[in-house]
Amino acid sequence: MTAKALSIQLQSSEKTVYRLVKEINRLYFPNEIITKKKGSGFKLNKVFLTEELPKTEGDMFTPIKRQEKILEKLLLRSPKGVLIYDLGQEFYVSSSVIMKDKIEIQRQIDAFNLKISTRSGNIFIQGSETDIRRAIAGLVSAFSIIDIDDLSLSTQSAIFDSNLALFILKEIKKIEDHLNAELPYPYNVNIFSHLYIMVERLRKGNRKISQSLVRFNDNNNDEVLLTESCNVIKDISDYLGRKIDDIEIDYLYQYLYSSRFQLNSQQQKVQFSKRAVAITKFYLTEMEMTKWQKIDEQSPVFIDLANHISPLLRRLDSKIRIKIIC
């Protein structure tokens, strides 16, 4: 079959056909799956017609996989864009296919208040820095398979910068040591993802200052967590060898403030907001736990539930999502 005939069927250029054939053969090197003969076009190598082909990343060209890769690229580069033509060449599809992918990508990022747009041949994602980072953490597959206990696994070391990952883990350990408390799953994964994404965007210079960040009233600040946030951002600043805007302290503070730290029985917090107390009482009543026993605000079961409810409310206020991997 000629390159022209293939280009018509694939709705792409002949140049793309040649590139696609080259890529397919590269995947099976040193074997040549598709051969080319002058005057007759492309043919499948007869040797492989009756044999099972070696396994490769066979799904790399599926629409879903392509859309995932495009979404990841655009989120990590936002607010900068990518040439639509370059994406077409990278994934061996026409510009019209990329525009169809744009519709599906928009559907995925709607929940994060982001918009995918095109201008002057470029395609890019627009939105606040807060929402972009939320989308990266929620939609980029790499952040859905994090195993904090073993980031040296081959599947993860290929995804994450091992030096940066270990540095961030040490920072999380410092926080736990200073607070004399443990940051359990999935909160540790959430903090890790936040810091890793922050550093990557700072490194690439794609970060955009956002003034839509929720700021807590100074009188209500948890001074201990605020101090930890300042210390971590300073350490990251030293690690990168550059100054980091103070707004990053606010970002990290929100995540720490919205996390549940695992304390020992002597450290358990017994002071909760009126809203947290009311909601805790509501759930205890609805579950009929108060029907057979007296549960007051100092009861272990009340404190344990309230210690879950309180950070949950903070996450809702700050629009912070916790992804739990089952």
Q: What is the pLDDT of residues 207-223, one digit of tens each?
A: 655 544 445 445 556 78
* Number of domains observed in the structure of the chain: 4
The model carries a pTM of 0.67
Residue 9 domain flag: yes
Which residues form the domain of 22?
Answer: 3-48
Check whether residue 251 and residue 217 sit in a common domain: yes
Check whether residue 162 and residue 251 sit in a common domain: yes
Check whether residue 305 and residue 204 sit in a common domain: no
Check whether residue 179 and residue 111 sit in a common domain: no
Check whether residue 32 and residue 76 sit in a common domain: no
Copy the structure tokens of residue 265: 């029985």
3-state secondary structure the chain: CCHHHHHHHHCCCHHHHHHHHHHHHHHCCCCCCEEEECCCEEEECHHHCCCCCCCCCCCCCCHHHHHHHHHHHHHHHCCCCEEHHHHHHHHCCCHHHHHHHHHHHHHHHHHHCCEEEEECCEEEEECCHHHHHHHHHHHCHHHHCCCHHHCCCHHHHCCCCHHHHHHHHHHHHHHHHHHCCECCCCHHHHHHHHHHHHHHHHHHCCCCCCCCCCCCCHHHCCHHHHHHHHHHHHHHHHHHCCCCCCHHHHHHHHHHHCCCCECCCCCCCCCCCHHHHHHHHHHHHHCCCCCCCCCCCCCHHHHHHHHHHHHHHHHHHHCCCCCCCC
Sequence length of the chain is 326
Check whether residue 234 and residue 281 sit in a common domain: no
Residue 41 domain flag: yes
Check whether residue 286 and residue 248 sit in a common domain: no
The pLDDT of residue 122 is above 50 = yes
Residue 209 domain flag: yes
Q: What are phi and psi of 319, to 5 degrees?
A: 60, 40
Residue with tokens 């054939």: 21
What digits encode the pLDDT tens for the residues 240-263? 999 998 889 988 998 898 888 876
Q: What is the CA radius of gyration of the chain?
A: 26
Residue 86 domain flag: yes
Residue 54 domain flag: no
Check whether residue 163 and residue 243 sit in a common domain: yes
Residue 118, domain CATH: 1.10.10.10
What digits encode the pLDDT tens for the residues 289-307? 777 788 888 888 888 888 8
Residue 138 domain flag: no
Parallel, antiparallel or unpaired: strands 34-37 and 115-119: unpaired
Give residue 278's pLDDT band: very low, low, confident or very high (50, 70, 90).
very high
The highest-confidence range among 116-125, 142-151, 199-208, 218-227, by mean pLDDT, is 116-125
Q: Which residue has the higher pLDDT, 237 or 5?
A: 237
Of the residues 127, 160, 178, which one is the last residue of a structural domain? 127
What digits encode the pLDDT tens for the residues 61-97? 688 889 999 999 999 899 999 999 999 888 878 889 9
